[in-house]
Amino acid sequence: MLDTDELNRMRWASRRGMLELDLVLEPFVNQCYAELEAADRARFQQLMLCQDQELFAWFLRRESPEDPEIASIVDRILRFTRPDLD
């Protein structure tokens, strides 16, 4: 069961310094985070430790994360945000 405090922490963490990232991350947290398995929640938490510039490049598909765990959650967020990519 997802802890309400955890969800609130991730909502706060998803509020970044760039509007472009907010438009990707906040809807994902609000609509998907609570339904993620524990492993994907842990991946998302790791993702929130990354720099905004890295996130921006990954979500624009200019670069890919080297870490396969991070790449996995980035892909999941991209599929949520842009279902046409499947």
State residue 60 phi and psi, 5-degree precision: -85, 0
Query: How far apart, in whole angstroms, are the C-alpha atoms of residue 3 and residue 70?
Result: 22
Which residue is associated with the tokens 């706060």?
12
Which pTM was predicted?
Answer: 0.91
- For 73, the token pair is 């959650």
Contact 16, 26 (CB under 8 A): no
Write the pLDDT tens digit of every residue in 17-74.
899 999 999 999 999 999 999 999 999 999 999 999 999 999 999 999 999 999 999 9
Contacts of 60 (CB under 8 A, 6+ apart): none
Q: Which domains does the chain have, with CATH numbers?
A: 4-85 (1.10.150.250)
